[in-house]
Structures are given as C-alpha cells and as structure tokens.
Chain A
C-alpha cells in the first residue's frame, strides 16, 4: 500500500471540517448568512432610502448584513411577486409602502397583504397641504373658501398620477363638493416644489419629506395635515378632520416576509424589529424627515392592512382607476 500523502490528509481534514461546520451551521441560530431585503423601487427614492436606513439598523442588531435588492417596475408588483415566491426562511424580506393595498384594485397583481406575513410597521408619513409663503391664503379656511368661490380655477400640485396623494385629493374634492384642478408630477417632489415656488400652482398636497427644506426654511406655509391627530413635529397645524374634512390618510411603510416562517425566526424578527422601530436612532432619522416612527406588531399591522385594502379599493373606485375582473 502506498503511504498516504500529506496533501490527501489535508484535503480529507478540510472536507471533514467543512462538513462539520455545515452541520453546525444548520443548527446555528438565525441568521447565519446575509439577508436580502427587497424594495420595489429603484435606488434613491424615498422608500429605498428609508429601507436602507432600516436595513443598516437591522444589520447592527442581527450581526449579519441586510442587503437591499432593488426590483423596480410594475408599481412594486415585481418585488411583491418575488417575496411570495421566496422560501420562507427569513432570508428574504420586503420593505414596502401602502402601495401594497392598491395593486389588486389597479389590476396589476392579485397579491395582497394576505399572501404575505406582515412583520411590523416601521413608520408613517402624514401628507400636508402647503402654499407658497407669498400666497394670500394664511389658513386652510382661507384656501378652501377661495376654492369654493372660484370653482375650477385653483391648481393643486400632487406627486405621481394615480398615486395615494392624487387619489386623496380626488376624494377630498368629491366628498366636499369642491372643484380644483389636480396637477400630477412624475418628477415627484422637485417638480411640485418648483411649480409652487414659481406660482404655477396655488397649493400642493405632499409628504413632508418631499418638501423638507422648503417647509423647514419657511418658503412654504403648512395649512393642514392629513392625520388622525396633530403631529408633535408641527403642533400648530390643524388636521383635515378638525377643519371638518374627511381625510386622514397616513400611509405606513413596513416589513414583510413570505408566509410560513419557522417560529424561532419569526420570534427573532419580531424582537429585533420592535427594538429598532422604538429605538431613539430610528426616531431621530424619521423626525429629521418630518415623519414618524410608528410601530405595529404582526397582528396589529395585519389588521391595519385589512382596513387599508378596503379603504384604498374604495378610493380607486372614486378616482375611476379601479379595474374590475
């Protein structure tokens, strides 16, 4: 018999060791490899930046990198499809907005929150009604009085056509018998702000983060906020409800997983996400953007989404964008 070569021994040893390692790692605690977090928009948008900040904090808590994977297109339906198809092992997650409740109504996808495991709500953003500081309207009352007095004459800038803000304004106009011209902007915040600053729109309905520098520097005056109660960041701004208008939309961004997560993974993700959303760091990041850290656990979040789906489907119907199958 030939003597066994040192190299062969080495190979055998490495093989045995790696086998051992893989056995150990199979039993190791979640997570033992990087986690992908899907985002349905391209890099650089509001949701993407939000998800990246959240992923950064998650990486710190979990000790594994949480990597953002951008899957833009089809109004986030591509990313949602990918999540539903993914293995429910906790290594594929999705960070998305309330668009999730509009996909079915718009006929883009049949998937809803019910096809996924909602993990937590992370933040909510209350849209505001703003005017240029040189505008004659000092309060929301002035503005709405002007709308009533000049039907079809005032221009209201909103972000993307068919998006939540657009539908919110259609609803406001319909329910309160108001007539103003809604001007959507595919360029989002920058387009709206330019329009308002140059006097080509009389008001804008937008997320505070879309006009942050203008609101903070006083170039824009905030007239009203769409929320159930006044925001602590803008305590002087009345809600639409207070003013007598039925509008309290406040879209929620949160984290989702595929259905059927193992119990230990689920438990770990719940503890970690709760800790992050309630942390001082996350609160600060959100308040810098004039939005709110907002925590809902899996059950509360699911209930919230259930209601949201009903509300948004109704809004789509009112906006004439509902697709019946």
Chain B
C-alpha cells in the first residue's frame, strides 16, 4: 500500500474515517475548554496509541491537533476566554459579534476561515515543504528576536490615540510575569523568593485563563445590570459574497500562518498576532477592527489553522518539529520505529501520504462539524448568566489545575484574575499584557542567545539580512503613523 492510491483507499476505510472523525470532534471540545490544549491531549494519547497501527494512530492525533486548534476560537467568540493560546486574537472581533447576537455567524466565519487556512497549509506542505522548511531554518535566534520586536510593534496599532503609554505599561507587566523562574541562559533562579513552585516560572495557561476568564467574570458581576443578548439563530454559513470578500484576508493570513508554523520555536499565537496586525494595518477601514469586523476574526483563524500544515514541514523534511504538537507526533512515530526526516519519504511513503490525506480530511470534518454545531454553541451563551458564570468559573479553575496538576496554578489564576480586573478599572488594556507574556520569554532567550552567538560583536547583526529587514519594518510601522499624523496636522494648520 505504498502507492498514493493504496493509501487513499486505506484512508477511506470506515475505521480510518472513524478515527479522524473522533479525533476532530474530541479535538474541538478539548480546544474549546480553557486549560485543555490539544498538545496535552496528544501527549497523553501517545502511550495508548503505542499498540495501534501507526497510520490509524497518526490519523487520530492529526484529527485532535486540527480540531483542537480550531476549537480554541469557539471559547474566544462565545465568552472571550481563549480555549488555546493560539486563539487569543480570535476574541477581539469574534466576541463583539457574539455580543451583537451574531455568535452563530461568528462561528460560521471562524469555521470557514479555519477550513480555508487549514487546506492552504496542507497544500503548501504537499507542494513546497522542502523549500519552505529550508527558508524557515534561516530564522535562528537573531531573526526570531527581530520577529518578536516586530510583534511588539502591534501594540502601536492596538492602542492608538493616547492609549499607547498605557499599552506599553501593560506590555511591561506581561514581560515582568515572564521574568520569574530559571534564567533561560544561565539557569540561575530569578524572583522565586525560595518558593519551589516558582522555579518553573508562572505558567502561561493559568495566567491566560486568569487574565481573560476570571477578569471577564468579575467584570460582568460588577456591572449592575446584565443585559441578555438574544442570539439570531439563522444562516451560520457565510453568504457567497462574504466568502468572496474574506478570501484575500484568509489567503494572506494563511501565508503568514504557514511560514510561522514552519519556523521551529515560533507558535500559533505569533501567527495569529502577525496576521491580525497585518490585516488591521492594511485595511481600508481600520476603525472597524475590534468591534466585530469579520476580517478581524477570519485572519487569526485562518493563520492558526494554516500553521498546522506549516508545522509539519520541518518535521517531515528534516525531522525537526515546527511546534509543540508536531514534537509529540514525532515522538509517537519514533515509538513505532519510524524516523521522520529526510529518509521518511523513501522508507515510509505511506506514512507521508497518510499525513497529507488525513490532514485534509480533518479540515473537511472540522468544517462540517463546526457549521453543524454553530447554532448549538451559540445557544450556550443564551443560558442565563446565573447558570453560565458558575459553570465557566468551574471550568477555569479545573483548566488551571489540570495544566500542572497543582493547586499552585489555581492561586496563579486567582491572582491574575484580580490583577486583570484592577487593570480594567485603571483603564489598562489587557491584550498587550498577554502579548508580553507570549513574546517576552521568546524575546529574552533569543536576544541573549543571539548575543552569545555574536561573540559580542555588534557587526554580527548587520550580517543577517532577514534580521535587518525585520528591524527596518518594525521601525517603519512604529514611525509611519506618527509621521502621518504630524503631516496631517501641518496641512491642517497651513490650510487654516
């Protein structure tokens, strides 16, 4: 069954179809629940799949991976609590839509964009994997450091109009959060106050659930009247004209997602940040972003799912995983004595074809399941708040606990929930802080590693074209709006 037709036949056997279907359905649920990530589920599954046929095991795990990445967006849209770290940006425009009573439509857009992104990523994997993974490898420490700097420049477009200072304060709070724990380069303890729990640092999942979930609940409770939003439960499938309108956004975001996915050491959250930022900056109507603009939801969802295909590229061609989940899949293949890497296509072509086919199959199942379940999910937030909030609260606490099997993570959740609420009252935006938490550790480790690599020579930075280009783009993107505003003021003054 080493020919592609043989594998195709095998993949359409009921058993394999069932594996992919169960994987996707389970993945969507795991992804939608805050604290449970597809990476966690796949890690636990590897030992159970040890006795399975490796192709069936792969089909199941790919289903969970793709379903989970998509499912993360559902929590963001419905209650503004991202189910997975990659879904942080999906709530920015998805949640306002739900607040308008368009949760079903938002999930429809998210599903369709995820489908387009996912299929795009898989097609790129099939067509240009060796080329792209060779390019992605050129992103070493200096380049990734430059990329994080570019990522931080997003704050400028997120908090325009006088809010920039507050945005920067918020980013710094996020970076401070990441300072706790072992130094990434020397291994010395920092800010651990002799608490052994702090040596591993503050984990991202409880911090994120605290800042989004608990803060949201506290905010809702503090409002005196809770306004109930009736959900329009019609036509969740985006209209043809909307599909046509979103396609350019989805394709641009898919390209960003695939590229970021192929870089070892970057992740889904960065793909979402960058694609949202790109769409926001280059939109003709930037003022609509953040208020329930379909493009703002389509971009991160398409990028997240395109990231999946991208992450497989270095794994299949070089044996280097592109993200945390492909690292686990690589381990699972090795347990079956299959070595991912340059010899995989020669030694086990059937495995490569299985990954291609089940990947695309997962996207199709995800699209069908998502569109069917959209109204069901939308109805969930029509549940009265006095039922809904306690349930979400329980899920947040369980999710934080499950992320490390420890009560310490629950205390972190509560701490950051209170911090988030305080920030809200002070008018400090929360999203930049999360940006700091995600990009901070990457920025620090890659900067310090790059300095080690440079042997202390400043000229080193200029020998790397990608780094220089990224720094230049960041500089332009920060300076351009300021220059534009200055010019506008001048012309206004001249004409007056």
Interface residues of A (CB under 8 A from B): 42-44, 48-49, 52-53, 55-56, 68-75, 77-78, 81, 106-109, 152-153, 155, 160-163, 166, 181-187, 190-191, 193-195, 197-198, 200, 209, 212-214, 216-217, 219, 285, 288-289, 319, 321
Contact = CB atoms under 8 A, between A and B. Distances in A.
Contacts of A106: 189
Interface residues of B, number: 55
A152 B445 CA distance: 20
Contact of A161 (B140, B184, B342, B455): B184
Contacts of A185: 449
A305 to B, nearest CB: 21
B47 A68 contact: yes
Contacts of B200: 72-75
Contacts of B50: 53, 56
A219 B344 CA distance: 13
B187 interface: yes
A147 to B, nearest CB: 14
B376 interface: no
A181 B455 contact: yes
Given A72-B405, A181-B453, 7 more contacts: A44-B42, A52-B46, A71-B406, A78-B406, A161-B185, A184-B184, A198-B140
B187 A44 contact: no
B12 interface: no
A191 B318 contact: no
Q: Which secondary structure dominates chain A's binding surface?
A: mixed
B343 interface: yes
A85 to B, nearest CB: 14
A50 B307 CA distance: 29
Contacts of A195: 140-141
Contacts of B47: 49, 52-53, 55-56, 68
A186 B196 contact: no
Given A77-B199, A184-B185, A212 B334 contact: yes
B401 to A, nearest CB: 12
B265 interface: yes
A200 to B, nearest CB: 4
Given A42-B404, A75-B200, A78-B406, A217 B43 contact: no
A44 B46 contact: yes
Interface string B392-426: 00000000000011101000000000000000000
A44 B39 contact: yes
Nearest to B137: A198
B20 to A, nearest CB: 22
B331 A183 contact: no
A190 B196 contact: no
A52 B452 CA distance: 37
Interface in B168-218: 182-189, 196-197, 199-200
Cβ-closest 3 pairs across A and B: A162-B187, A213-B319, A44-B43
Interface string B14-56: 0000000000000000000000000110111011001000000
Contacts of A108: 196, 199
A42 B196 CA distance: 16
B264 interface: yes
B337 interface: yes
Given A44-B327, A198-B138, A321 B187 contact: yes
A187 B265 contact: yes
27 contacts: A43-B44, A44-B324, A49-B47, A49-B331, A55-B47, A71-B406, A73-B196, A73-B197, A73-B404, A73-B408, A74-B196, A74-B200, A77-B196, A77-B199, A107-B189, A161-B182, A161-B186, A183-B449, A184-B185, A184-B187, A190-B265, A190-B320, A194-B264, A194-B314, A216-B341, A217-B341, A285-B335
Contacts of B184: 161, 184, 186
Contact of B196 (A78, A187, A213): A78
Nearest to A181: B452
Contact of A193 (B44, B319, B449): B319
Given A181-B455, A191-B265, A70 B187 contact: no
Contact of B342 (A190, A209, A217): A217
B43 A193 contact: no
Most buried by B among A52, A198, A219, A319: A198
B257 interface: no
B378 interface: no
B73 interface: no
Nearest to B41: A43
B404 A213 contact: no
B270 interface: no
B85 interface: no
B339 interface: yes
A230 B412 CA distance: 48
A197 B320 contact: yes
Given A183-B453, A321-B187, A70 B405 contact: yes
Given A71-B405, A166-B187, A194-B320, A212 B339 contact: yes
A162 B183 CA distance: 9
A53 B336 CA distance: 12
Given A43-B40, A161-B185, A219 B335 contact: no
B24 to A, nearest CB: 21
A185 B446 CA distance: 9
Nearest to B183: A161
